[in-house]
Structure 1
Amino acid sequence: MPPMWPRASLTPMSSSEHPMIDLTARCDCGAITLTASGRVASMFQCACDNCQHVSGSGHSSVVLLPADAISVVGATKSWSRPADSGATFTRHFCPECGTTIHARSSRAPGFAILPVGLFSGQNDWFVPNQLIFARSHRDWDLIADHLPWHERYREDPQ
């Protein structure tokens, strides 16, 4: 008999329901502090191959905030790579422990991409509204069945 996995019963949020957050998080070793304060622009999961590599799982859970809504104390290191979309994707991480602090995409230069797990213990407000890059989703990675799946990016990101 297959295992019984909990199913999410949350419904996708409209853009008017995106929460305001005012949170502080630290990397694993404590060298970097990130403060995020503002209205969340989008909350989603991404199953692209790169997110799978970086997260060590089948997807990443992320939140988008306006870039000016975050501040970082401590020196990060960055890594840039070309994304499937043709954009340049840059991850900023702690050079000591490797924790991803935030990321940026040239496709959406006004936004910071934050890993929701960075706010562990204070991220109950996170309600993803879609899965992007479903084309590389792995069957063993369970995603809530109410979420819309998009093969690549959405044309009108929320």
Structure 2
Amino acid sequence: MADQITGGCKCGKVRYAGTPLDAAPFRCHCRDCQQLTGSGHTEMMPLAREGFAISETCRIYEMQGGSGQSTYSGFCPDCGAQLIRRSARMGDRVYVHAGSLDDPAQYAPERSIYSDAAQPWDAGSIIKAD
């Protein structure tokens, strides 16, 4: 895996850089991800929160996650691109949306989470655990 991961939004106003965590990249089917992305799921790559940098122009939306704790979604205030997710529960990491990576080929999902919330029209995208 790459030493440094970089990415940003469609219009270029928000940029980020960080280091991959030794944690599985995943596909999330939770209802929050569906609503935030307007899709059936989102593709997430975990990066270490320590040393993670993102442009100050990134807007953060705070909401209550399924655990009852706060989760945060970062997006570009101009083009609206979803860029990051993080949570109070998993404070050591930041999840970046794989589509926002400068090199999306660096992403290879290993599993699906919250597959019980997958929409019937998106059920074919669930990655079954071995």
Does TM, scored on the shorter chain, surpass 0.5? yes
Question: Offset of 1:79 from its aligned partner?
Answer: 0.8
Q: Could you tell me which residue of structure 2 aligns to residue 57 of structure 1? A: 39
Determine which of 67, 71, 77 is the counterpart of 1:85.
67
**Aligned-pair identity (%):** 23
Alpha-carbon RMSD: 2.0
Contact kept, 8 Å, 1:34 with 1:73, in 2: the verdict is yes
Contact kept, 8 Å, 2:37 with 2:82, in 1: the verdict is no
State whether structure 2 residue 107 is matched by structure 1 residue 126: yes
Q: Which amino acid aligns with 1:85?
A: S
SS in 1 for 2:12: coil
Give TM-score scaled by structure 2 length: 0.86
Q: Could you tell me which residue of structure 2 aligns to residue 32 of structure 1? A: 14
Distance 1:144 1:77, change over 3 A: closer
State whether structure 2 residue 93 is matched by structure 1 residue 99: no
SS in 2 for 1:29: coil
C-alpha distance in 2 between matches for 1:132 and 1:38: 19
C-alpha distance in 1 between matches for 2:91 and 2:38: 26
Structure 1 residues without counterparts, runs of 5 or longer: 1-18, 150-158
Give TM-score scaled by structure 1 length: 0.73
Contact kept, 8 Å, 2:20 with 2:46, in 1: the verdict is no
The alignment of Structure 1 onto Structure 2 pairs a total of residues equal to 129
Contact kept, 8 Å, 1:101 with 1:115, in 2: the verdict is yes
Could you give the per-residue CA deviations for residues 42-90 of structure 1, whole angstroms, max 9, x where no partner exists? 3001100111112221110101111024211242211111111112111
Q: Which has the higher contact order (CA 8 A, sep 6+)?
A: 2
State whether structure 2 residue 119 is matched by structure 1 residue 138: yes
C-alpha distance in 2 between matches for 1:96 and 1:40: 32
Structure 2 residues without counterparts, runs of 5 or longer: none
